[in-house]
Structure 1
Amino acid sequence: MLPSERREFVRTHRTCIFGYGRQVHGPAMSVVYYLPTTDDELLVSTLADRAKALAVARSSKVSLCILDERWPFTFLQVYADATLEHDPDLTIAVMMAVGGRMSGEELSADARPVVAAMADEERRLVIRCRPYLTFATPPRHLHHEGQDETLTHWTSGSIPWDAADPA
């Protein structure tokens, strides 16, 4: 994947596995919907008391494994610096947009008061993720029996988020 293709992959998908360091044991992971911004930030809504928010308060380093929900299954790992945003208007806007991404259609303005009440009751906030590095492993797919004699392994590689495509 070219650097521009990686950024486009992130912009055009909606689910990821959000990974963060825990105080004890291995890294934690949870499936979340995310919202890409025009500035290439990724916004995630969560409860202030959830482990994701507590982890970001301890360490800004997170990873998002962006998922392609269609077959053939593909993913792209994004490493990001994260901050917590406590702005209620931003939180409601992200929740509205995520609701639209989840349902496949934009939520009506009538839903805003309900979403605002939910955001307040659940003490929601937004995790703002600023990508700085991507990691991709090209997928391999078996299309028919007998293909195993010609299978090859490809090299994985990390590329800075803002890298230019090669000439």
Structure 2
Amino acid sequence: MSISMSPRDREAFLAERRVGVLGVADGRGGERAPLLVPVWYAYEPGGDVLVQTGRETVKGRLLLAAGRFSLCVQDERRPYRYVSVEGEVAAVEDPVPPAVRDALAHRYLDPDEARGYLAATAGQLKDDLLLRLRPQRWRTADFSAFAADFPAPGAATGSDA
């Protein structure tokens, strides 16, 4: 039984509003593990993954140096599902287009919160850049079919022992 998602399902899952965990190689020397950080992102099926970050942040500098990154999103509710995508940075927009920044804020926040957030962080526009990841490799899992073979926690098993 395969737990992999179809291309259509994985793209639909990635397009849903979730917080992603971005991973990028940490080339600062020594035996460092990859940098992993939660991020807001945007994705539409068939397109690029969009991530905004500060140009001078550790994350921003590592992303520009590596030229590639991965993003993992999950649904931690049962049955568990996840999509991980990796690829090259296809484009860097510096600074972030205001419309993209606005769309990201409205994707993750209620309208009033988004307006307040955008007003409070307006200065970031000059400090941030937008990275476009072109998906090249996907890893997915949807445990729905697998979980269907097992009773739900607390469910009767049919025995009267």
- Normalised to the residue count of structure 2, the TM-score between the two structures is 0.72
Q: Quick check: which has more Rg, 1 or 2?
A: 2
Aligned residues: 141
Q: Per the alignment, do residues 145 and 117 of structure 1 end up closer, same or farther by CA in structure 2, a change over 3 Å counting?
A: same
1:127 matched to 2:131: yes
Say whether the 8 Å CA contact 2:24–2:69 is kept in structure 1.
Answer: yes
Gaps of 5+ in 2: 157-161
Partner residue, 1:16: 20
- Normalised to the residue count of structure 1, the TM-score between the two structures is 0.70
Sequence identity, in percent? 20
Q: Residue 94 of structure 1 aligns to which amino acid in structure 2?
A: V
Instruction: List aligned pairs for 1:140-155, cutoff 5 A.
Output: 143-144=152-153
Q: Which deviates more, 135-144 or 94-103?
A: 135-144
Partner residue, 1:165: none
Partner residue, 1:164: none
Instruction: Tell me the distance in 2 between the aligned counterparts of 1:5 and 1:137.
Output: 11
1:136 matched to 2:140: yes
User: What's the CA shift string for 1:24-69, capped at 9, x where partnerless?
Assistant: 411110000101247511111111011222112212221000233x
Secondary structure at the counterpart of residue 137 of structure 1: strand
Q: Residue 11 of structure 2 aligns to which amino acid in structure 1?
A: R
Q: 1:66 aligns with which of 63, 70, 73?
A: 73
Instruction: List aligned pairs for 1:18-167, cutoff 5 A.
Output: 18-23=22-27, 24=29, 25-37=32-44, 40-68=47-75, 71-72=77-78, 73-82=80-89, 83-88=91-96, 90=97, 92-105=98-111, 107=114, 115-120=121-126, 123-139=127-143, 143-144=152-153
Say whether the 8 Å CA contact 2:11–2:46 is kept in structure 1.
Answer: no
Gaps of 5+ in 1: 148-167
RMSD over equivalenced CA pairs, Å: 2.8
Say whether the 8 Å CA contact 2:68–2:133 is kept in structure 1.
Answer: no
Say whether the 8 Å CA contact 2:72–2:83 is kept in structure 1.
Answer: yes
Say whether the 8 Å CA contact 1:44–1:94 is kept in structure 2.
Answer: no
Q: Residue 84 of structure 1 aligns to which amino acid in structure 2?
A: V
Q: Residue 153 of structure 2 aligns to which amino acid in structure 1?
A: H
Alpha-carbon deviation of 1:22? Answer: 0.2
Instruction: Tell me the distance in 1 between the aligned counterparts of 2:35 and 2:101.
Output: 23
